[in-house]
DNA sequence: GTTGTGACATAAAAATTCTTTATGTTTGTG
DNA sequence: CACAAACATAAAGAATTTTTATGTCACAAC
């Protein structure tokens, strides 16, 4: 990759001439001939209608007008050269920016990105987590991973994990409040609710219980928390029963810190979808393909 | 005179594309065709080795790298356009800069420049007065007016006023300390001396008295002052006798506030010389010719 | 499903700019 | 007087920029 400064025409020529006080030395520094420098500066003077240099056989000096323009041009050359260096440095390691919710970021995406970076140490992945996802597809990110139904996303979206939910709690909680052999048994235990603004896209306890013919309004011992991370933390603290999404709680189920204590409810038309940006870099494509194949 | 912005190549093109979010609209704003804009930005991206815009059918958006370069380019375009405007404005009224000593500036040049500007109200004359005149011909001025002998100056120098010196004082001082019928009479009166660093180029009291066969060292009642303005002020305050240079004290002699009280000493090879700069503007030539003809 | 519109990309030709070569002028120095 | 150095000009050649012509793709309207 070239490290040459950008070609910015007469700006660099005039800056050199002003700084060196000599058209000939400026030409030498820039790899041009002296008439080329003379020609360029003369052209600027014609456009401006003002003399920029006082020429003599001993070299050249800036006029008052030349001094004014020189200040502006010199700072411009400096700042463009700095920006050139900065853009080349930052783009050497193309970053992949992925937009998703906090829960998915923490429990599904972060562990996998950690694994991916073990294979691609040079890759830089930025996870942009947010609560409000309404404008997710407007964000200037390389990909978005969002929960919803098929019709919520463009045709280019691919299903990462379908929604498959199972009630979970710690073994200790199970001993104290269990067993939960019948869905009706859940109605008497404290439940952990994910609070969302507006209508929830995710399965709720109310929906889960209704799938088994149980109607149970929000009880006094229930807890409402506004991020899925807090839900899992509360469950681990034995504050209640949580709904566990396959994919997000797998790690805790594997460790045994949480156990599945009820039947699974699956909504195959809903789940986490991968929505790639139209203009994805090669690193982005590599990561997304890897994530899909890992699942 | 053209008021068009300077042609700064791709800088203005990229700035417009980044600001408007559209190559087509940028082309329209700049009076180019859309392929011309596409070509220019593509060329910069090739030099940089980095993509600057994310193009789509809905228009274009800056990439992260593009944002970095855009900031630098936008501020450069602004500052160059401002400098362009400033250089055109300041050069509309070309200033004439004249370098001289304080005394000559105050008593000879300022009154004449005031008269000149009544005839040429648009002319802008800057008088650069200084005490140390050693590097006077090195200064970046349009002309210098300096005291000295013929051989002190280049051939292009022209004599403005030869050195012609007469003792002066106020009428009141004359009544108290006069009359001064004989040069020896001056030896007993307080004298005002112009203090200069190094050997004085101007006539001194010692030299004036010696011209008439009088030897008189510096007396206790004498005053030494370091600018000719202070000399004249002290004379008007009746603190002593001053040497009066024709041309500098004419105004006071005409008013009667000072009177000539002794014989005149002239050194025709010495005086105030006009040294023009090799590259004089037309306004400079107009002013200098006017000053010479006015004398 | 078809058609039209708009934005960007590409190729080739034409126009313009930029650079070099050759040479001239002026000034300063030895 | 000769030579060197700095800047200027003209002309030829090289390179860049722009326009014209056309293509591709996405989106909206019918």
A156 touches chain B (CB under 8 A): no
Q: Is B35 exposed, middle or buried (0-12, 13-18, 19+ CB in 10 A)?
A: exposed
Please give the Cα distance from A107 to A229 (Å, whole number). 8
Please give the Cα distance from A132 to A100 (Å, whole number). 10
Using a CB-CB cut-off of 8 Å, the residues of chain B touching A72 are 76, 79-80, 82-83
Of residues B54, B68, B88, nearest to A48 (C-beta): B88
Q: How confident is the model at residue B40 (pLDDT cuts 50, 70, 90)?
A: very high
User: CATH no. for residue B46?
Assistant: 1.10.10.10
Q: What is the pLDDT of residue A146?
A: 86
Using a CB-CB cut-off of 8 Å, the residues of chain A touching B79 are 72, 75-76
Provide, rounded to the nearest whole percent, the portion of chain B with pLDDT above 90: 25
Residue scoring higher pLDDT (B7 or A275): B7
If DSSP codes are grouped into helix, strand and coil, which group holds residue A100?
Answer: strand
Per the listing, tokens 């502006």 go with A72
Nucleotide nearest to B9 (CA to C1'): D17
Q: How confident is the model at residue A8 (pLDDT cuts 50, 70, 90)?
A: very high
Residues A149 and A281 in one domain: yes
B245, part of any domain: yes
Q: What is the pLDDT of residue B238?
A: 84
Q: What is the pLDDT of residue B134?
A: 63
Q: What is the pLDDT of residue A58?
A: 81
Number of domains in chain A: 3
Work out the number of other CB atoms within 10 angstroms of the CB of residue A188. 11
Residues A104 and A84 in one domain: no
Nucleotide nearest to A34 (CA to C1'): D7
What is the average per-residue pLDDT within B65-72? Answer: 91
Q: Which residue of A has its CA nearest to B70?
A: A83
In sign, the C-alpha dihedral spanning B50, B52, B56, B61 is: positive
Residue scoring higher pLDDT (A43 or A91): A43
B1, part of any domain: no
B186, part of any domain: yes
B203, part of any domain: yes
Tell me what the pLDDT averaged over chain A comes to. 83
Q: Do the Cβ atoms of A79 and B72 come within 8 Å?
A: yes
Report the protein residue whose CA lies nearest the C1' of nucleotide C20.
A33
Q: What is the pLDDT of residue A216?
A: 79
Query: Which is it for strands B242-245 and B158-169: parallel, antiparallel or unpaired?
Result: antiparallel
Nucleic strand D under 7 Å from the C-beta of A38: yes
Residues B82 and B100 in one domain: no
In the structure, how far is the CA atom of residue A32 from the C1' atom of nucleotide D14, in angstroms? 14
Residues A221 and A198 in one domain: yes
What is the average per-residue pLDDT within A33-40? Answer: 95
B6 touches chain A (CB under 8 A): yes
Q: Which residue of B has its CA nearest to A78?
A: B72
A133, part of any domain: yes
Span between the terminal Cα atoms of chain B, in Å: 36
pLDDT for residue A116 is more than 90: no
Residues B15 and B45 in one domain: yes
Q: Do the Cβ atoms of B87 and A69 come within 8 Å?
A: yes
Structural tokens at position A261? 């204590």
A282 touches chain B (CB under 8 A): no
What is the average per-residue pLDDT within B147-162? Answer: 83
Nucleotide nearest to A9 (CA to C1'): C18
Write down which residue in A92, A112, A146 finishes a domain: A92
Residues A147 and A277 in one domain: yes
Please give the Cα distance from A137 to A157 (Å, whole number). 11
Q: How confident is the model at residue B15 (pLDDT cuts 50, 70, 90)?
A: very high
Q: What was the ipTM of the complex prediction? A: 0.50
Residues A16 and A88 in one domain: yes
CA B144-B148-B150 angle, 5° bins:
95
Q: How confident is the model at residue A178 (pLDDT cuts 50, 70, 90)?
A: confident
Nucleic strand D under 7 Å from the C-beta of A35: yes
Which of A146-155, B46-55, B134-143, B282-291 has the weakest average pLDDT?
A: B134-143
Question: CB contacts < 8 Å between A and B, how many?
Answer: 112
In the structure, how far is the CA atom of residue B14 from the C1' atom of nucleotide C8, in angstroms? 15
Residues 6 or more apart in contact with residue B293 via CB below 8 angstroms: none
Q: Do the Cβ atoms of B8 and A4 come within 8 Å?
A: no
- The predicted-structure confidence for B209-237, as pLDDT tens digits, reads as follows 888 888 877 776 777 777 787 788 888 88
Of residues B47, B56, B83, nearest to A278 (C-beta): B56
Q: Do the Cβ atoms of A2 and B47 come within 8 Å?
A: yes
In the structure, how far is the CA atom of residue B22 from the C1' atom of nucleotide D29, in angstroms? 24
Please give the Cα distance from A9 to A14 (Å, whole number). 9
Q: Helices B110-119 and B282-294: crossing angle, nearest 10°?
A: 120
pLDDT for residue A81 is more than 80: yes
Which of A1-5, A213-217, B228-232 has the weakest average pLDDT?
A: A1-5
pLDDT for residue B1 is more than 50: no
A142, part of any domain: yes
Which of A4-18, A103-117, A142-156, B115-129 has the weakest average pLDDT?
A: B115-129
Residue scoring higher pLDDT (B189 or B217): B189
Q: What is the pLDDT of residue B137?
A: 65
SS (H, E, C) B110-121: HHHHHHHHHHCC
Q: What is the pLDDT of residue A1?
A: 44
A1, part of any domain: no
A152, part of any domain: yes
Residues A66 and A127 in one domain: no
Range of the domain at A88: 10-92
Residues A66 and A119 in one domain: no
Residues A99 and A148 in one domain: yes
Residues A150 and A58 in one domain: no
User: CATH no. for residue A133?
Assistant: 3.40.190.10
pLDDT for residue B76 is more than 90: yes
Residues A184 and A252 in one domain: yes
Q: How confident is the model at residue B109 (pLDDT cuts 50, 70, 90)?
A: confident
Q: What is the pLDDT of residue A18?
A: 94
């Amino acid at each position: 990759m070239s490290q040459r400064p950008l070609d910015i025409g007469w700006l660099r020529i005039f800056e050199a001439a002003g700084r060196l006080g000599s058209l000939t030395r400026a030409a030498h520094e820039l790899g041009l001939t002296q008439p080329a420098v003379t020609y360029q500066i003369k052209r600027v003077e014609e456009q401006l209608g003002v003399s920029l240099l006082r020429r003599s056989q001993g070299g050249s000096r800036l006029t008052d007008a030349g001094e004014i323009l020189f200040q502006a041009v010199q700072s411009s050359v400096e700042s463009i050269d700095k920006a050139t260096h900065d853009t080349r440095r930052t783009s050497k390691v193309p970053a992949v920016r992925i937009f998703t919710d906090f829960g998915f970021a923490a429990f599904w995406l972060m562990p996998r990105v950690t694994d991916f970076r073990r294979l691609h140490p040079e890759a830089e992945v930025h996870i942009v987590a947010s609560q409000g996802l309404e404008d997710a597809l407007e964000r200037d990110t390389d990909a978005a991973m969002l929960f919803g139904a098929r019709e919520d996303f463009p045709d280019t979206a691919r299903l990462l994990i379908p929604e498959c939910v199972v009630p979970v709690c710690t073994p200790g909680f199970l001993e104290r409040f269990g067993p939960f052999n019948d869905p009706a048994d859940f109605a008497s235990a404290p439940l952990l609710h994910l609070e969302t603004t507006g209508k929830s896209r995710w399965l709720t306890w109310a929906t889960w219980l209704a799938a088994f013919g149980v109607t149970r309004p929000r009880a006094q011992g229930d807890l409402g928390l506004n991020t899925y991370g807090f839900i899992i933390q509360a469950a681990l603290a034995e504050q209640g029963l949580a709904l566990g999404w396959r994919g997000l709680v797998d790690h805790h189920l594997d460790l045994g810190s949480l156990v599945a204590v009820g039947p699974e409810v699956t909504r195959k038309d809903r789940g986490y979808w991968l929505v790639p940006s139209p203009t994805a870099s090669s690193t982005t494509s590599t990561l997304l393909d890897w994530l899909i194949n890992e699942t």
